[in-house]
Chains A and B, each alone.
Chain A
Amino acid sequence: MDQIKNELTHKSKASKQDVRGRTIAFICIAVIMLVVLSILFMITSRGLSTFIQDKVPVSDFFTKTVWNPSAVDANGHYLVGALPMIVGSFSVTILAALLATPFAIATAVFMTEISPKRGQRILQPVIELLVGIPSVVYGFIGLTVVVPLTRQLFGGTGFGILSGTFVLFVMVLPTITSMYIDSLKSVPRFYREASLALGATRWQTISRVVIRASVPGLLTAIVFGMARAFGEALAVQMVIGNAALLPHNLLSPASTLTSVLTTGIGNTVMGTLPNNALWTLALILLVMSLLFNLLTRYIGRKGGLK
């Protein structure tokens, strides 16, 4: 009797183990959140000091187009117009993601639905290889191959958003493809079987069942792809022209938030306006990627199953 009572009123070994496991898992997520929050705190506090400490009007930052933080204009206002970089980052990232997504979907579908054997043995390792190539190598190839090609085909100097898009397209392709392959694989087999049994063709099964069932996974993949594009500096910098000008078309030189940030951070001194302005760029980058993230989630909720 006592033994039964004991078993009923005390936690079993398994339950204790569960609590312990849960705690460990929680600590891990807490560590990550601590790291994330401290980075966010640092960027936000430094980024906002441009507006608070140096009293730069917020509207100037987002609407002016001249970027030269170490100088002032005739009226004594700092020249910190980030609009060209915001436009540049936006266009390169969106274009690269738009371009890469169909290719990534096709490649992933090919590898999981059409030719799993060849696809996975050969194509997947090779695609994953691309992630490990340092961006400076991408930049160099972009400079010697993509830029001249753009110059020949479309005119101009070859430096511009278009070249940046091509280079980023190749850089984000492996991330999107690999992550999407995993979510395609996780679509239960009986979905496909059920669809085929109903007489649907392979394409109908792929497009109406498999892809739709994996929309959330696809969106996560795209978000991470865009994140890579946003954060990329060296490769883009070498092909986009890196001039803080408002781009009027895809062929005129432009610049991105990240490249201006990376270029300038070593030449400025902590706590001064030129340095704070760079942190503000990082903050904008964060806010922009947050917006993208929410947007893709929203689309996912509308377009996904159920």
Chain B
Amino acid sequence: MHKILTKLIQFSLIAIIPILLAGCGGRSGSSVTIVGSTALQPLVEKAAADYQVQHSNVNITVQGGGSGTGLSQVQQKAVSVGNSDVFAEQQDGIKASKLEDHKVAVVGMGPVVNKDVSIKNLSMKQLKDIFTGKIKNWKEVGGNNLPIVVINRAQGSGIRKSFERVVLDGKQPMNAQEQDSNGTVQKIVEATPGAISYLSFSYFNNQVKSLTLEQVKPNAANVATNKWKIWSYEHMYTQKNASKETTKFIDYMQSKAVQQKLITDLGYISIHDMKVQMDANNKITPVKGGDH
């Protein structure tokens, strides 16, 4: 009996340690925690650093973790803002009506190939056939004789959803390599002969070759008019009644200071420049003038 008692005491002791630690952890001061999309993180982190220079009383923490994590944590009120590459409506398990959407940037994406591939342009149909596995060699689309190595993006990721929405038109993609980050895809395409994948515009560099689609160039101007169709919003989701600090920071993100300088510097497209808009059902409509 005595023995059991001692053990019980020891166990309860252990349970107390973390709680004590937690007590010490209660931090004072107004803080904003932002979690989610890894693609959006560098932008928000930089903006937060600039913002805190003027507002030193606010403590903003920006972390990655993925769009799904961001949305589910903001839904559970564990964080103040959830960054996401996708509309909350399009994510399983998220009650979008409970959240407030703040679009802070537009990101364009386009196909890239290894430098050994000789072609420069593809039609939408050809791109679709490549990703569904119908076309297996570059010579079938007028290139050199080289087997195609398709590198898809991670299931459930924002970029893959946007790409498949525009390119695949409801068809199932072939079973292929899947990589989750822009940097990794960039490196694999660079190192693998015959490789094709897709990247955000900011990751285009001279080590990989970006393709034109139907002779349309992947650039910001074409995204703004929806001539280049593969693009999506970067969202910052909050609870409906977000704290004052949170709202103020998001206002800052949407302000001219950030939109005209930082956003374009990082290779994103400002929401102010868009001549069209997209809703959660992927319907695209022209922007009525003077929205912002």
A residues at B contact (CB < 8 Å): 23, 26-27, 30-31, 34, 67-70, 139-140, 143-144, 147-148, 157-159, 237-238, 241-245, 253, 255, 263-275
Q: List 18 A-B contacts (CB under 8 A).
A: A27-B13, A69-B155, A70-B155, A143-B188, A147-B192, A157-B147, A159-B192, A238-B179, A243-B177, A263-B178, A263-B179, A264-B155, A266-B180, A267-B66, A268-B92, A268-B93, A269-B92, A270-B93
Q: Are B71 and A269 in contact (CB under 8 A)?
A: yes
- B264 touches A (CB below 8 Å): no
Q: From B92, B177, B191, give the contact of A241 (CB < 8 A).
A: B177
Q: From A140, A255, A270, A274, give the contact of B156 (CB < 8 A).
A: A274
Whole-angstrom CA separation of A147 from B189 in the bound complex: 13
Q: Are A27 and B10 in contact (CB under 8 A)?
A: yes
Which residues of A sit under 8 angstroms from B175, Cβ to Cβ?
243-245
Whole-angstrom CA separation of A248 from B188 in the bound complex: 22
Q: Are A273 and B192 in contact (CB under 8 A)?
A: no
- B33 touches A (CB below 8 Å): no
Whole-angstrom CA separation of A140 from B72 in the bound complex: 32
**Given contact pairs A242-B179, A263-B154, A270-B76, a sample of 6 additional A-B residue pairs in the complex whose CB atoms are under 8 Å apart:** A143-B191, A267-B66, A267-B154, A267-B180, A269-B71, A269-B93
- B91 touches A (CB below 8 Å): yes
Whole-angstrom CA separation of A298 from B187 in the bound complex: 43
Which residues of A sit under 8 angstroms from B6, Cβ to Cβ?
23
- A252 to chain B: closest CB distance in Å? 11
Which residues of A sit under 8 angstroms from B67, Cβ to Cβ?
266-267
* CB neighbors of A among B56-100 (8 A): 64-69, 71-72, 75-76, 91-94
- B281 touches A (CB below 8 Å): no
Q: From A148, A255, A267, give the contact of B68 (CB < 8 A).
A: A267
- B114 to chain A: closest CB distance in Å? 12
Which residues of B sit under 8 angstroms from A241, Cβ to Cβ?
177
Q: Are B156 and A159 in contact (CB under 8 A)?
A: no
Q: Are A237 and B192 in contact (CB under 8 A)?
A: no
Q: Are A271 and B13 in contact (CB under 8 A)?
A: no
Q: Are A244 and B154 in contact (CB under 8 A)?
A: no
Which residues of B sit under 8 angstroms from A264, Cβ to Cβ?
154-156
- B38 touches A (CB below 8 Å): yes
Q: Given A157-B149, A243-B177, A270-B93, does the pair A143, B68 have CB atoms closer than 8 Å?
A: no
Q: From B10, B156, B191, give the contact of A147 (CB < 8 A).
A: B191
Whole-angstrom CA separation of A190 from B14 in the bound complex: 44
Whole-angstrom CA separation of A133 from B147 in the bound complex: 34
Q: Mark B123-167, 1 if CB is under 8 A from A, else 0.
A: 000000000000000000000000101000011111000000000
Q: Are A263 and B180 in contact (CB under 8 A)?
A: yes
Q: Which residue in chain A gives the minimum CB-CB distance to B85?
A: A267
Q: From B14, B71, B156, B184, give the contact of A238 (CB < 8 A).
A: B184
Whole-angstrom CA separation of A68 from B67 in the bound complex: 18
Q: Which residue in chain A gives the minimum CB-CB distance to B192?
A: A157
Whole-angstrom CA separation of A241 from B149 in the bound complex: 10
Q: From A140, A148, A158, A253, give the contact of B187 (CB < 8 A).
A: A140
Q: Given A30-B11, A68-B155, A271-B93, does the pair A266, B68 have CB atoms closer than 8 Å?
A: yes
- B216 touches A (CB below 8 Å): no
Whole-angstrom CA separation of A253 from B187 in the bound complex: 17
Q: Given A70-B92, A238-B184, does the pair A275, B68 have CB atoms closer than 8 Å?
A: yes
Whole-angstrom CA separation of A26 from B64 in the bound complex: 39
Whole-angstrom CA separation of A159 from B151 in the bound complex: 11
* CB neighbors of A among B1-53 (8 A): 6-7, 10-11, 13-14, 38
Q: Given A27-B10, A159-B177, A243-B178, does the pair A269, B154 have CB atoms closer than 8 Å?
A: no
Whole-angstrom CA separation of A139 from B147 in the bound complex: 24
Whole-angstrom CA separation of A238 from B187 in the bound complex: 9
Which residues of A sit under 8 angstroms from B65, Cβ to Cβ?
266
- B292 to chain A: closest CB distance in Å? 30
Which residues of B sit under 8 angstroms from A69, Cβ to Cβ?
155
Whole-angstrom CA separation of A270 from B71 in the bound complex: 10
Please name the 5 residue pairs, one residue from A and one from B, whose CB atoms are nearest each other, closest first. A266-B66, A272-B93, A269-B93, A267-B156, A269-B72
- A108 to chain B: closest CB distance in Å? 35
- B276 touches A (CB below 8 Å): no
Whole-angstrom CA separation of A140 from B191 in the bound complex: 10
Whole-angstrom CA separation of A227 from B125 in the bound complex: 45
Q: Are A30 and B10 in contact (CB under 8 A)?
A: yes
Q: Which residue in chain A gives the minimum CB-CB distance to B94?
A: A269
Whole-angstrom CA separation of A139 from B181 in the bound complex: 13
Which residues of B sit under 8 angstroms from A267, Cβ to Cβ?
66-68, 154-158, 180
